[in-house]
Amino acid sequence: MSKKLLIKGLAVTLLSLAFSAQARETPRVYVEGVAAAIEENYFDEARAREIAVKLRSAASTGKFDALQNEGELSSELSRWLAPFDTHFKVSWAEPQPASPAAPDATAPARAMPANNPQRRGNYGVRGVDVLPGNIGYLDLRNFSDFEFGQPNQPARLAVDAGLQLLSGTNALIIDLRENGGGAPQMVGYLSSAFVKKDADIFNTFHGRGGRTMSEAPLDWNPQPRLDTPLFILISGRTASAAEAFAYTMQSSKRATIVGEASMGAANPGGPVDAGNGFMVFISFASPINPITKTNWENRGVIPDVAVASAAAPETAQRLALKAVLAGGPKGDDATDVTWALDALQAESKSTPLLHANDYLGSYGTLVITEANGHLILNNGRRPIRTLLPLGDDHFAVREDPSKRVIFVRDASGKVQALESQTSSGDSDRYRRGG
């Protein structure tokens, strides 16, 4: 081999080794950016230094060297940091050029689509419903941001509209099982819809340098529902601002929390640039509740009624109906709530249908058939009704518990008629075979 080829081969080898070394060290460079961001921004300065030191130490031992893919590295860093603060999350996106090329002046202008994720999610208000027994249900997926002093902002209007639609209900269920958090302003504002004005129940956030901020709203709901039974559904997905609302309502004994323990992400913050396309969500403050003198970090909000999150809606509905009955409703109102509770309990019991043949057949314009172990009421082209046995030939209507069906027997014990009743006292009777 010639001296020239030997030198060229050596140069290639050295260059290859240099690139390999650089590739092995690249994750450490990225980790240093994350560590520096935490050290400079985390709300607890002493804790910030401690976390940064531990992260740098882990990197120096080669903990992250094998993670050459930036996405995999960011996921591992999020997992590694989570025990220090549940809000820590590292993400990565391909860095954009510092000076993008100027657009072609000759090209036709293109309208840019609106890119507002809050609007696309209807500002968190996913569903509003009135359940049997006049129980309000609000499915809230996000605590959208807005500014106080501006009542016509979309996020505030959306929540106000949901509450207004449910203003006449006997009790209210707010479903936060899929709510990952959002803005503290909305926490304070929504809370004010259920407590007396200026109630001292709101968290105070503590940040660096002794800075504090209260979660109490600057605008209070003008018509708070102080006595309406309130139930809040949570799960392991419920986090951050959603937890703050549940915790505030629970601590003030204003609501019953139903479901599973929440995520345990108490400390609010925001994304910080860690360089090279990496961003890290860092907590800028930590809340202290004036009643409990602490918060829910790491342990989550603990439900008052612990059930699987999938069973939380039905459980809360049953509790809400019982709470309304405990308030002593009168007349038809009491009947309507009682019938709703009876139907819900009959549904959950799955009582087997006995002697189905006793009931099958035609009753005037109505026809009773059987399907999947239930009696089915057919009335021409109208939607079918499923009958739930309550005992003694009485049946609740699953699709509308404000109605009941009673089968009437003759002296020999044979069913001879069907009575349709409503909780308002109306009734119709149909002779069998008519």
- What are the C-alpha distances in Å from 300 to residues 166, 234, 316? 29, 10, 20
Q: Quick one: pLDDT at residue 145?
A: 93
Judged by average pLDDT, the poorest of 172-186, 239-253, 282-296, 341-355 is 341-355
Q: Cα angle vertex 316, ends 314, 320, to 5°? A: 115
125 by DSSP, 3-state: which? strand
Query: What are the two backbone dihedrals, phi and then psi, of residue 379, each rounded to the nearest 5 degrees?
Result: -140, 80
Residue 111 falls inside a structural domain: no
Q: Quick one: pLDDT at residue 233?
A: 98
Neighbouring residues of 196: CB distance < 8 A, sequence distance ≥ 6: 224, 226
Closest CA to 187 of 134, 129, 251: 251
Q: Quick one: pLDDT at residue 404?
A: 97
Q: Quick one: pLDDT at residue 351?
A: 73
Query: What are the two backbone dihedrals, phi and then psi, of residue 395, each rounded to the nearest 5 degrees?
Result: -135, 140
- What are the C-alpha distances in Å from 263 to residues 4, 84, 239, 244? 65, 14, 5, 11
Distance between CA atoms of residues 371 and 349, nearest Å: 18
Mean pLDDT of the 365-379 span: 95
Q: Quick one: pLDDT at residue 399?
A: 96
Mean pLDDT of the 380-391 span: 95
pLDDT digits (tens, 9 = 90+) for 267-285: 999 999 999 999 999 999 9
- My answer on whether 321 and 369 are in the same domain is no
Mean pLDDT of the 164-177 span: 97
- My answer on whether 358 and 255 are in the same domain is no
- My answer on whether 188 and 75 are in the same domain is no
Residue 120 falls inside a structural domain: no
Q: Quick one: pLDDT at residue 350?
A: 74
Distance between CA atoms of residues 267 and 158, nearest Å: 26
Residue 197, domain CATH: 3.90.226.10
pLDDT digits (tens, 9 = 90+) for 19-67: 444 444 589 999 999 999 999 999 999 999 999 999 999 999 999 999 9
Percent of the chain with pLDDT over 90: 84
Q: Quick one: pLDDT at residue 138?
A: 98
- My answer on whether 306 and 356 are in the same domain is no
Residue 411 falls inside a structural domain: yes
- My answer on whether 170 and 319 are in the same domain is yes
Residue 115 falls inside a structural domain: no
Residue numbers of the domain that contains 39? 3-84
- My answer on whether 169 and 317 are in the same domain is yes
Distance between CA atoms of residues 26 and 69, nearest Å: 10
Mean pLDDT of the 367-388 span: 95
Within 27-163, strands assigned E span 89-92, 125-131, 135-140
- My answer on whether 141 and 258 are in the same domain is yes
Mean pLDDT of the 70-85 span: 96
Residue 407, domain CATH: 2.40.128.50
Six-digit token pair at 193?
């819809």
Chain mean position to CA 366:
42
Distance between CA atoms of residues 130 and 169, nearest Å: 7
> Model-level pTM?
0.86
Mapping DSSP onto H, E and C, the string for 165-183 reads HCCCCCEEEEECCCCCCEC
Closest CA to 234 of 140, 143, 162: 140
Mean pLDDT of the 200-220 span: 95
Checking if the pLDDT of 113 tops 70, the result is no
Q: Quick one: pLDDT at residue 3?
A: 47
Checking if the pLDDT of 313 tops 50, the result is yes
- My answer on whether 213 and 246 are in the same domain is yes
Q: Quick one: pLDDT at residue 26?
A: 87
Checking if the pLDDT of 322 tops 70, the result is yes
Buried b (16+ CB within 10 A) or exposed e, 385-420: bbbbbbeebbbbbbebbbbbbbbeeeeeeebebbbb
Q: Which tops the pLDDT comparison, 317 or 20?
A: 317
Residue 122 falls inside a structural domain: no
Please say whether the beta carbons of 156 and 146 come within 8 A: yes
- My answer on whether 313 and 374 are in the same domain is no
Q: Quick one: pLDDT at residue 7?
A: 43
pLDDT digits (tens, 9 = 90+) for 102-112: 444 444 444 44
* Amino acid code (one letter) for 195: V
Residue with tokens 């590694």: 80
Neighbouring residues of 163: CB distance < 8 A, sequence distance ≥ 6: 138, 193, 221
Mapping DSSP onto H, E and C, the string for 135-158 reads EEEEEECCECCCCCCCCCCHHHHH
Residue 345 falls inside a structural domain: no
Please say whether the beta carbons of 252 and 198 come within 8 A: no
- My answer on whether 298 and 360 are in the same domain is no
Q: Quick one: pLDDT at residue 406?
A: 97
Checking if the pLDDT of 220 tops 90, the result is yes
Count of domains in the chain?
3
- My answer on whether 315 and 167 are in the same domain is yes
Residue 63 falls inside a structural domain: yes
Mean pLDDT of the 401-421 span: 96
Q: Quick one: pLDDT at residue 47?
A: 96
Residue 204 falls inside a structural domain: yes
- My answer on whether 40 and 178 are in the same domain is no
Average pLDDT of the residues of the chain: 90
